[in-house]
A and B are shown apart, each in its own frame.
Chain A
Amino acid sequence: MEPIPSAEVERLKAAAARLRGRVIEMSHAASSAHLASSLSCCDIVAAAYWGVCQIDPARPDDPLRDRFILSKGHAATALYAALAFRGFFPEALLETYCQDGGMLAEHPPARMLPGVEAATGSLGHGLPIGIGMALAGRMRAEKYRVYALLSDGENNEGSVWEAAMFAAAQKLNNLCVIVDYNKWQATARSNETLQLAPLREKWAAFGWDAVETDGHDVGALTQLMRAVPDGGEKPRAIIAHTVKGRGVSFMEDDNNWHYRAPTAEEVVLAHKELGLA
């Protein structure tokens, strides 16, 4: 695996910080929930959209593009901001998030916004869809890769494990799952709800090339995600250890921010901490 040059790591970090800033603004403007879930995965989304995926915003339907599926659809603000910053649609559209008659609902819509690969929001759907995309690519000998970002709570869904076994049986090495393992789900600690631990070992036992990493290390994430396929026959699972609400001291690991939206004053404080003020 090629290490990521430090200049590129800095660029990815800046992209992630910019995503966090925008996600916080959107949550405030719309009084929408799931801010902490979005902050949790901004580094993963930044790695995907700035470091890994072969995508061309001018050709969002290019059949040979890499696919990134936000299976944890409740982190839609992170996806919307990434797509806008990458040029899939105008940034001004972010102002319409959650507004009456808009295209940016609280969960990503089906076949309406350029760059949104799948409508998600109901958990446990993104991985099977991603497997279908990966198999279609393999049937046609196309080299694109498929990435699916799952939440840890999403691992509660039986369909995730149906999919995990199927992908392994199919030896889908053009497929990569990233689990945003922030140790919380909507109302409780994830491991106290349905026991996920040991999560890496679970994915490995299901036949995946499963690795653990710091889910806020954009360089490590980029390196691991780029190395797909890696010559082996297994799909890759990256268990990304994260902190819910990452980047804002008064939100980090405080699950009230699963539902709370920040006040105007809190937006200013958060932006300062992110170095965006």
Chain B
Amino acid sequence: MRNAFADELTKLGNVDPRVVMLSGDIGNRLFDKFRAAHPSRFYNCGVAEQNMTGVAAGMALSGMRPITYTITPFVTTRCLEQIRTDVCYHDLPVMIVAVGGGLSYAGLGPTHHACEDIAFLRAIPNMVVICPGDAWEVRAAMRAALEQDRPTYIRMGKRGEPKVHSETPEAFRIGKALPISDGTDVCLLSTGTMLPEVIETAHLLEKQGVSAQVVSFHTVKPLDEDFLRDALSRFRLVATIEEHSLIGGFGAAVAEWMIDEAIVPRKFLRFGTPDAFFKKSGEQEYAREQLGLGTHHMAARIMAVVQ
């Protein structure tokens, strides 16, 4: 995802002189092309994320379209007040792009895990929260974010994630769920980097005679309410899947919305990380398995409910 981000950044920077890249001392060589093409619009802001975010707000107040970028906890919770007060209170077109969302950097330990960021950022007024499902959705999200002139959070994985699309999805719209496959029995709403796992889970269900629709529900805020309403009325089971805490994340957002709308689901499951730090060493796949986000575990939990 991060290579797609850097490449798309260069493309956007080539056509829009307002695009400025602010990096929190990360992405060694990743931005070489952008820097070569636009040396005056690249800033390594150092390991100083509060300042980086405030600087981005000041640039946006002066007509630029800055992008802040570093590892997820540092570009979100480390500088949360600057995001809230400088960016969102002023309602500024700053794009906050995070690398390593969820458990992408599982092996680096809980300092580098990010399973609370969606909860924090979606609580802030004016903020749009997008979790692209693959590298192509990252590109689409960046283009759409640049057009909408609002604070936008884009939560990426790291690199080498399987691609789900084969090109930038034409139908990508902020706030609109993106169906990936059709199904008739259950509806799997995936946000962010879990998308390939959810597709695999759907295959496992298919083998057991359960037809599952897979949806890339990339925009957590604002929710695609029309899609939710329809899915909750049509399917025997609707599930949310995210690499984020069950507290305050995508599934929580959908559950809150259902209560407010007085919608009673037929069956509703939330997949996410528990209310605990994951302290063991091990990479993303291991962490997912341990935390109930492995494909076989998810398929079994769904089968237990639909049967």
Contact = CB atoms under 8 A, between A and B. Distances in A.
Interface stretch (A5-13, A49-57, A116-124): A116-124
Given A139-B41, A165-B46, A165-B48, A132 B58 contact: yes
Nearest to A141: B40
A119 to B, nearest CB: 6
B89 A163 contact: no
Contact of B90 (A119, A133, A135, A136): A119
B86 interface: yes
A111 B59 contact: no
**Secondary structure class of chain A's binding surface, majority of residues:** helix
A122 B85 contact: yes
B63 A163 contact: no
Interface string A105-128: 000001100000111001011011
Contacts of A231: none
B43 interface: yes
Given A110-B91, A119-B89, A139-B40, A128 B82 contact: yes
Contacts of A163: 48, 51, 54-55
B50 A162 contact: yes
Contact of A136 (B51, B59, B91): B59
Contacts of A139: 20, 40-41, 64
A239 B86 CA distance: 25
A109 B107 CA distance: 43
B118 interface: no
Interface string A153-190: 00000110011011001100000000000000000000
B64 A111 contact: no
A111 B91 contact: yes
B61 interface: yes
A125 B86 contact: yes
B166 interface: no
- A-side interface size class: 20 to 34
A129 interface: yes
B63 to A, nearest CB: 7
A110 B89 contact: yes
A159 B54 contact: yes
Nearest to B48: A162
Which 7 residue pairs are nearest across A and B when measured between Cβ atoms? A132-B58, A128-B54, A136-B62, A162-B48, A162-B51, A129-B58, A132-B59
24 contacts: A63-B62, A63-B63, A110-B89, A111-B90, A124-B50, A125-B54, A125-B85, A125-B86, A128-B54, A128-B55, A129-B61, A130-B58, A132-B54, A132-B55, A132-B60, A132-B62, A133-B61, A135-B43, A139-B40, A139-B64, A162-B46, A162-B48, A166-B45, A166-B46
Interface of B: 20, 40-41, 43, 45-46, 48, 50-64, 66, 81-82, 85-86, 89-91
